[in-house]
Structure 1
Amino acid sequence: MVFSNEPVVKVEDACIFQGINTILKNVNFGIEKGEFVFLIGRTGSGKSSLLKTLYADLPLIMGKASVAGYPIQDINKKDIPFLRRKLGIVFQDFQLFPDRTVAENLYFVLRATGWKDKLKMKNRMIEVLMGVGLGGAATKMPHQLSGGEQQRVVIARALLNEPSILLADEPTGNLDPDVSDGIFKLFQEINKRGTAILMATHNYELLKKYPYRILKCENTEVLDSKNAPISLSGSGL
């Protein structure tokens, strides 16, 4: 795959804080369009804080970051929803509305991101559900689905606005190995269609089996396998 010269993510000399605590410092990396990158590190090492910074849930006080063309360090609050339209965010704990059908969960996101044409909304909802192998799930409630199926709904939701990058925070962490493998293969299919992926994971088997680039949060730094080999020891894997 040929990558564009313009990274979908570019972080320069960034320091990430939680309150007065420095979580990560001197962070520098880029992610090209269509690239697949693992994000690893022990619990509490800064993985989630880094992801939250990239989708502007955590303010970037020092340094610079560009995500999908938006400058995160001085992004206006009114622009954050527009940034997130260009991102797909996949959480470990699903965050689906339990009292709404799968279709209603997806329609909520479409309406919130400016879609108005009901036919286009219906077609897009069907398209993304078909794309994740859940074409018949639109009328089901989340509790009627398995954990793996719910995660597929979450991925479908993240794909609604054709994002340039998916940010996934431990998307297979609560799933059994066979289901996890299916979810990961789905991410690979999405990546092959041109969507960049940054996936936080503790799954050592994935790292051994698929030699994608690795970012490792360790001792307040972000190490990059693009620059030097990454040791998997001490990663909490």
Structure 2
Amino acid sequence: MFTSDPIVSVKNACIFQGINAILQDVNFNIEKYEFVFLIGRTGSGKSSLLKTLYADLPLQMGQAQVAGYDIEKIKTKDIPYLRRKIGIVFQDFQLFTDRTVSDNLMFVMKATGWKDKAKMKTRMAEVLMRVGLGGAASKMPHQLSGGEQQRVVIARALLNEPNILLADEPTGNLDPEVADGIFQLFQDINKQGTAILMATHNHELLKKHPYRILKCDKGQVLDSKTSDFNLSTSL
């Protein structure tokens, strides 16, 4: 059994995409309240690693524990409960374009077990205020800018007060000024107690913010706590 301290603990894991091993002998922990960058060239395994952590890809070899769940043993019926303890932020938003902001959030709450409509409305209002979109509940996604849509995605990820946010290139499709605002929001969320694992290609972020880095490279995951590597060849 893993220790109860890290929010993520991965041991001797092999990450597969289909029958192909993308990453091998993966070992790392992420502590509560920690902010960690995940970097690597396109196709190096970043997204596959994130998908494994939120149980979208099965873990076929090794061990991983995320928010108290053993990922290699998790049952399908328990995946929604895992995802109540983590938040997932995608680069391409994945919002329902035919539903309002509030309906997008409501869908996630219903899928993760919320029942009380009054509590649901209160929580939706809280997370939208937290991301600076207090007046956006009735808007459709197409009425929002790219940065505002990403804030809705972050609000959606915060609905269940997650222990950790897993973010896959959350600023990749945004212009630099908007991206800076989104990154500041992630920092604020981290300072309030939520761990962050953020995949990024943004070299400027890495230079400005000296957080710990995990690097996917040649089938391995290197850790800046224990390895020296050249960032210029990583993105």
* TM-score where L is the length of structure 2: 0.97
2: CA distance between counterparts of 1:135 and 1:235? 38
1:84 is paired with a residue of what secondary structure? helix
CA contact (8 A) 2:37 2:213 kept: yes
**Deviation of 1:64 (Å):** 0.2
* Deviations 1:119-174, CA, capped at 9 Å, x for gaps: 11111000000000000000100000000000000000000000000000000000
The corresponding residue for 1:228 is 227
Distance 1:99 1:172 in 2: 23
1:129–1:135 Cα contact (<8 Å) kept: yes
Aligned mates of 1:130, 1:230 — CA distance in 2 = 40
Q: Which amino acid aligns with 1:36?
A: F
Question: Is 1:138–2:137 an aligned residue pair?
Answer: yes
CA deviation map 1:91-137 (0-9, x unaligned): 00000010110011111111111111111111100000000000000
Aligned to 2:213: 214
Q: How does 1:45-60 map to 2 (within 5 A)?
A: 45-60=44-59
Partner of 2:88: 89
2:109 corresponding residue in structure 1: 110
Aligned to 1:12: 11
Matched with 2:98 is 99
Contact 1:5 1:32 in 2 (8 A): no
2:183 & 2:228 partners in 1: Cα distance? Answer: 23
Q: CA deviation at 1:5?
A: 6.6
Q: Are 1:64 and 1:71, in contact at CA under 8 Å, matched by a contact in 2?
A: yes
Give 1:178's aligned residue: 177
Give the distance between the partners of 2:53 and 2:91, measured in 1 at CA: 17
- d(CA) in 1 for partners of 2:4, 2:79: 25
Letter in 1 for 2:131: V
> What does 1:147-226 align with in structure 2 at a 5 Å threshold?
147-226=146-225
Are the equivalent residues in 2 in contact too, given 1:11–1:30 (CA < 8 A)?
yes
More divergent stretch after superposition (225-234 vs 160-169): 225-234
Query: Secondary structure, in 3 states, of the residue corresponding to 2:178?
Result: helix
Give 3-state SS (helix, strand or coil) of 1:206's partner: helix
CA–CA distance in 1 between the matches of 2:18 and 2:112?
A: 30
Q: Distance in 1 between matches of 2:63 and 2:110?
A: 31
Q: How far is 1:24 from its partner?
A: 0.2
State the SS of the aligned residue for 1:152. helix
Q: 2:89 touches 2:157 (CA, 8 Å); kept in 1?
A: yes
RMSD across aligned positions (CA)? 1.0
| Contact 1:214–1:230 under 8 Å retained in 2 | no
Q: Indicate if the aligned counterparts of 2:4 and 2:68 stay in contact, CA closer than 8 A.
A: no
Is the Cα–Cα contact under 8 Å of residues 60 and 72 in structure 2 kept in the other structure? yes
Distance in 2 (alpha carbons) for counterparts of 1:5 and 1:189? 25
What fraction of aligned residue pairs are identical, expressed as a percent? Answer: 78
In 2, the alpha carbon distance for the partners of 1:26 and 1:199 equals 21
- Gaps of at least 5 residues in structure 2 are none
**Aligned equivalents of 1:186 and 1:147: distance in 2?**
15
- Structure 2 Cα separation of the partners of residues 138 and 213 of structure 1: 35
TM-score (norm 1): 0.97
**Which runs of at least 4 in structure 1 moved beyond 6 Å after TM superposition?**
none
Aligned 1:61-76 pairs, distance under 5 A: 61-76=60-75
Corresponding letter in the other structure for 1:137: A
In 2, Cα distance between the equivalents of 1:218 and 1:208? 19
Structure 1 residue identity aligned to 2:180 = D
1:32 is matched by which residue type in structure 2? E
